[in-house]
Amino acid sequence: MRAVFWTASLLLAWTHVLYGPALALLRRARGVPPAAPVEGPLPRASLIVAAYAEEAVIAEKVANALALDWPRDRLEVIVAVDGGADPGADATAERARAVGADLVLELPREGKVRTQDAAVRAASGELLAFSDANARWAPDALAKLLAPFADPAVGYVCGRVDFVNDSGTNQEGLYWRYDLWIRAQESALASVTAGNGAIYAVRRDAYVEVDPIMGHDLTLPFTLVRRGWRAVYAPDARAQEKMVPTIEGEWARKRRMMAHGWPIVLRGGMLRLGDFPPLYALFIASHRLLRYGSPLLHALAGVATVALLPRGGPYRAAAAAQAGVLAAAAAGARVRARPLLVARYYVLTTASLAAGLYDWLRHGTAAGWDAAEGTR
């Protein structure tokens, strides 16, 4: 039981607290490599927006894309409508055409990934940028996002999405800023272990069609690294999205995400650490596998703590700390104090990892998706 307690506790501390600072120290020791210079004419880029029932926001999204600081004759804006076979049910395609999208595809409902695949096959760009319908890009975001492709080894680039939340209880922004900081360290040292759907790009030669229930955010970076490409982070390429307003809504969103994430982890190739360069394998184990395994590690630490309570000392302190976090999370449902809300966010989002695994094992995962609460 002592071995279980200390192993689980140290692994939790490593993945949630120590991993990021350790990367920062390693990055400082190595120094920052110079960026590859951007030379020659700007490549042709295709900006792809996969949309399902997005009539409320698609016109603003297309207008935002057309206003980006990129030569208009080198930019193709594609809206791929998932479920567009029934034009009477939704005006997404009609509104995208009206505001000036270069190509609008009306497709049968097959889910986001297959919709993106269809758009890629129709695209003419050398570089493929992707965005969500509710994401708003800064004017220079496309230029900043595509600049790293000056390095021929780069196959994937993700930008920075900032979540906007004028009210509500969700603490995702706090976690997200820390995660982006870790992402910057990973990118400087080797490659990132995940991206985000709001703003990312792929070299056309590097694009791969993946299982339709396995989203690009998690699948593409490690898949492309396995194929010999680099996957990097461009923090100056910025986008904004509305955040789910409540912690309970975030729990539901992450539960849905992990119903798609667990198939990637368990049968999508993430567990094959020997396929990766050693440093990147450490990234995957530390930042992905241990984080997704946090519910199990917490359960093991909790059981061991109870068994070791008669020994006193650190085990009683651990029991008090665990009980305190759970009590604070429960209180956060009634009292909107920041420390209580942070505790509630951590407990519920950690539990959502286990709930997503249960959902996938029990019910499977559909390829289709719906917008998260309060994000439009």
Cα R_g (the chain), whole angstroms: 22
In percent, how much of the chain has pLDDT > 70? 94
In the prediction, which pLDDT does 171 show?
85
User: Distance from first CA to last CA of the chain, Å, rounded?
Assistant: 48
Token pair 């792929």 in the structure block, residue: 202
Burial class of residue 296, CB neighbours in 10 A (0-12, 13-18, 19+): middle
Burial class of residue 71, CB neighbours in 10 A (0-12, 13-18, 19+): exposed
Query: What is the sign, positive or negative, of the torsion defined by CA atoms of 129, 233, 372, 59?
Result: negative
Tell which CATH architecture fits domain 45-245: Alpha-Beta Complex (3.90)
In the prediction, which pLDDT does 372 show?
61
In the prediction, which pLDDT does 242 show?
87
Name 105's Cβ contacts closer than 8 Å, sequence gap at least 6.
78, 79, 80, 81, 84, 115, 118, 119, 122
Interatomic CA distance for residues 68 and 139, integer angstroms: 5
Residue 251 is given by DSSP the state H
Q: Which of 64, 118, 119, 91 is nearest to 241 (CA)?
A: 64
Q: How sure is the predictor about 85, in pLDDT bands with cuts at 50, 70 and 90?
A: very low
211-229 pLDDT, tens digit each: 999 999 999 999 999 999 9
Token pair 């955010």 in the structure block, residue: 217
At residue 81, the 3 state secondary structure works out as strand
What are the tokens at 140? 């220079």
Whether 286 has a pLDDT exceeding 50, the answer reads: yes
In percent, how much of the chain has pLDDT > 90? 83
170-207 pLDDT, tens digit each: 888 889 999 999 999 999 999 999 999 999 999 999 99
In the prediction, which pLDDT does 243 show?
85
Do residues 49 and 78 make contact, with C-beta atoms less than 8 angstroms apart?
yes
What are the tokens at 328? 């604070």
